[in-house]
Amino acid sequence: MKILVTGGAGFIGSAVIRHLIDDLGYEVVNVDKLTYAGNLESLENISSNPLYSFERVDVCDFNEMARVFETHRPDKVMHLAAESHVDRSIDGPAEFIQANVVGTYVMLETARQYWLKLDDEKKGNFRFHHISTDEVYGDLEGTDDLFTETTPYAPSSPYSASKASSDHLVRAWNRTYKFPVVITNCSNNYGPYQFPEKLIPLVTLNALSGKPLPIYGKGDQIRDWLYVEDHARALVKVVFEGKDGETYNIGGHNEMTNLEVVKTVCAILDDLRPDHPNGISKYEELITYVADRPGHDVRYAIDANKIKQELNWVPDETFESGIRKTVSWYLDNETWWTRVLDGSYQGERLGMAS
């Protein structure tokens, strides 16, 4: 069994690849353009494994993607390659349209042309898995409402609009061409190897350096938090067991306000790293409130009953167990995040052929 994973050098993609190889023993082809968020050092432990191969390719490049399919002959595709940071999408939406919309179209067409040439058995087993986000659903109004797989789309940011567009393309290819697909929409991920622009690693590393911990508005935005290794297990389960044309929402069953998340990280650091910087007595003293970002959704929450009932998946980690593992990982892996912060992790890619 050979799986083609796009965006495999990213945060979630690298977790998926480690799970596929280390835990399941499958062959994996990692296709990644290596933008700023792609870090091959997140795959250092499996980089020399004979089950692993890497292609530095832009998913928007038709010719190169066709070559990758013909060279590696994958049995299934897991499409994670995407620009994913909301703030960056507000400042520069064009990159998000290109990567998330055009890139998904190119992947669908190259995969479909490849699929059409397969024999009946391989064609029947082939699956294109598109990994998306709960942000396509927009904002929840009530405190008891949950996103289900039939919630109407109402994206708020250029990022979420580009992901909503790509979701629609995937469904159209399934309905028009009978191309076998599954879609997953997940809640906020956290865990080891996450790029430090995201909330939890940003707060952790800023706190260690005695820098301000920025909180948008009052910090009352609510998110459902999903440990990345739980997510990786769910994604693999869906690509193998999910029903053709179906959507599965993946959530962590952990609703927290952003302020609660930041205070939890601070409390763990108080316990694990009590030598506070800059004369403070608690890391919480570094919290700073900043102006809210445009179009900031207040609450996301996932109803994950469908994947539980149909595929028997539930997360292993509670937020309490997962966040402690995460903060401990950053404390124990300073070399990894130091190289990200100073940009030296990009050195290897600069010398690579594209």
Catalytic residue annotation:
134-135, 159
Closest CA to 38 of 73, 8, 70, 60: 8
Q: Which residues pair with 133 in a beta bridge?
A: 186
Helices marked H in 143-286: 158-177, 199-208, 228-241, 258-272
Question: Torsion over CA of 257, 304, 240 and 317, rounded to 10 degrees?
Answer: 50
CB 173 within 8 A of CB 180: no
Do the beta carbons of residue 37 and residue 10 sit within 8 Å?
Answer: yes
- Sheet-wide strand order for 27-31: 52-55, 27-31, 2-6, 76-79, 127-133, 181-186, 247-250
Two structure tokens written together for 273:
């790293």
Buried b (16+ CB within 10 A) or exposed e, 249-266: bbbbbbbbbbbebbbbbb
Tell me, what DSSP letter sits at residue 299? B
Question: What is the C-alpha separation between 249 and 251, in angstroms, rounded?
Answer: 7
Tokens 């009530």 -> residue: 142
Beta bridge partners of 299: 222
User: Using CB atoms within 10 A of its CB, is residue 275 exposed (0-12), middle (13-18) or buried (19+)?
Assistant: exposed
**DSSP H helices in 228-318:** 228-241, 258-272, 305-311
Rounded-to-integer distance, Cα 24 and Cα 18, Å: 9
268 burial level (CB within 10 Å; 0-12, 13-18, 19+): buried
DSSP for 55-71 reads E---TT-HHHHHHHHHH
Tell me the CB-side half-sphere exposure of residue 236, using CA atoms within 13 A.
23
